[in-house]
């Protein structure tokens, strides 16, 4: 019990971030019209591509003689970039059509 409380105190920043972000995530898209469900899903999809940062760190830290780490990291960077770039471009393409029509 003591240690659990200690842990909570030690990591309170994280706990605050997680809790607040959960509420924020729900609040932010709470009133989305169904028209935008697809672009919103696609946009959110691109945002979780932020995992690319982890891939870059892994790649950058890899020992140049460790080929396993190098190739895994390289693959991770490619896949992460696909997620980010593909995600944002697809979303933009969907939304472009909306703007087009508003004129």
Partner 1 sequence: MLLTVIYLLASISFILGLKMLSNPASARKGNLIAAAGMGLAILGTIFLYEESDGTKLGNYGWIFGGLIIGTIIGTLAAKKVKMTAMPEMVSLFNGMGGACAALISITEFNHLAETLHQPHDVQLGEIFPASAAYSAWVGKSIVILAGLIIGSVSFSGSVIAWGKLNGKIHDFAFKGQHLINGLLFLVLLGLAGWIAGVYENANTTVFYVLLILSLIYGVFFVLPIGGADMPVVISLLNSFTGVAAACGGFLYNNKAMLTGGILVGAAGTLLTILMCKAMNRSLLNVLIGSFGGHAADVAATRAQGNYKEITLSDTAILLTYAHKVMIVPGYGLAVAQAQHACHELEKLLTEKGVEVKYAIHPVAGRMPGHMNVLLAEADVDYDQLLEMEAANEQFSTTDVVLVLGANDVVNPAAKTDPASPIYGMPILEVELAKNCIVNKRSMKPGYAGIENELFFQPKTSMLFGDAKKVLEAISTEIKNL
Give the integer Cα–Cα distance in Å for 34 and 18.
Answer: 27
Rule CB under 8 A: which of 37-96 touch partner 1?
37-62, 64, 68-70, 72-96
By CB under 8 A, residue 24 contacts partner 1: yes
Q: How far is the CB of 59 from partner 1 (least distance, A)?
A: 5
Measured distance between the N- and C-terminal CA atoms of the chain, rounded to whole angstroms: 62
Contact 80, 51 (CB under 8 A): yes
Structure tokens at 19: 């809790």
Q: How far is the CB of 1 from partner 1 (least distance, A)?
A: 14
Q: How far is the CB of 11 from partner 1 (least distance, A)?
A: 9
By CB under 8 A, residue 23 contacts partner 1: yes
């Amino acid at each position: 019990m003591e240690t659990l409380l200690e842990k909570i105190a030690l990591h309170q920043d994280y706990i605050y971030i997680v809790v607040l972000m959960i509420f924020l995530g729900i609040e932010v898209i709470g009133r989305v019209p169904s028209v935008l469900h697809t672009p919103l899903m696609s946009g959110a999809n691109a945002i979780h591509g932020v995992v690319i940062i982890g891939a870059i760190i892994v790649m950058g830290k890899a020992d140049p003689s460790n080929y396993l780490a190098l190739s895994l990291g390289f693959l991770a960077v490619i896949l992460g970039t696909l997620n980010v770039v593909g995600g944002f471009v697809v979303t933009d393409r969907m939304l472009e059509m909306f703007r087009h029509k508003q004129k």
